[in-house]
Structure 1
């Protein structure tokens, strides 16, 4: 290869590298007055979803002394509730994880776990090595939570797994659908049991189905638990933009991957956890934190 071609190749690589850096640093979230609108077009011609924010997102300064966990099993709507909280308050929410897709598309405080964020996303059980002063437990019917997370594992936060994925047999990389359901149902019940029976701080319970059905009331009660007041303009804006970009649309209307035996198992663990919620609520009625 000639020296001229080598120089041209090196220049192209440098330009590409620089373009990627610029792209990664470009804001993909904006306020309603932003010139970006609801879509952001990258320098490579691809369209990436962005968010219309009611107000510019910021960290808490000074940080709160109260670190609040936003707990859920994967697939239960954690990202959507974070989005609603950010819309209503303008305060960033954090996470124990570093999801670069979320960081670039509306959640700039990924991997921030202190009081500078409103809540800290986690799917983990309560442990002694990570201190939360209080927690919000978001619970979704395991039938829908497991299916949503199975879709995420195959197609990301807003995609839907192909029907073939539900028929695939186990291999060294992925388990079959039936094995996945069996294992995850056990984990779903165990995670909720741990938070409902061992966490020592105040615990606010949110049902995903109630959040969908009555978003205003559920969001307001969550904000009350966080001791954060928003005015009617902020609440109305959050509700006007409540859909966001991270609520998966149903792709298959007449497709149910669950077998009758799976439904029996789902109903069993679902009722077990509902009974734990009832027991917890009875217990805290007589407890003052």
Structure 2
């Protein structure tokens, strides 16, 4: 099977910065038609506005995907530009800290809405379009691929990341459930769960924080922080026909970080 995504049309959310932007650019470089989607119109146009004007296989779409009308407009924009949609990358993610003892803390509700429910609604809309464009009958093979971006926070516990961990775990289960539901229609649903990736946002967070950077590296068996390209490669695999018999899987890209017992004591 080929890892090629050339000629396919991909919608990438959360594509104004970070890993989402890296995935979108990676896909463009591999010959895919890509719609870069983000709520932050200014950042999106700054990063991809000129490319959208010059490159036939690039479009940008700004809007709040928590709104159903925005999702419908996104699909219309995609079909008008490229006539079909083959791949959806749900890369829009938000991280917030949580005070578990504060009854006024709404971070769990906010992140479930942003990181999980919005991804589900966009996936539902795109899946319906994939099914419609495939026509009647039972498909002989995959007709589309949905890839969710998750986090190792779904399996690890950090005292300040309750909401992010809960929304990531919910996204993983949503991935599995939708994979089973959509399999008879020929649509595969998978996720990539990653740890620390050296995006622009992480660089900013680690600036002048050598201890934090060293802590990440020391707790990663491969002894470094991932590049955004390494996540993009994993996403391409799941989006391509090379993974045609893979669905409902959460592929972990973390350099082995989730394999380590942080207590580092051989006593149980």
- TM above 0.5: no
Query: TM-score normalised to the size of structure 1?
Result: 0.37
Is the radius of gyration larger for structure 1 or structure 2? 1
Query: TM-score normalised to the size of structure 2?
Result: 0.39
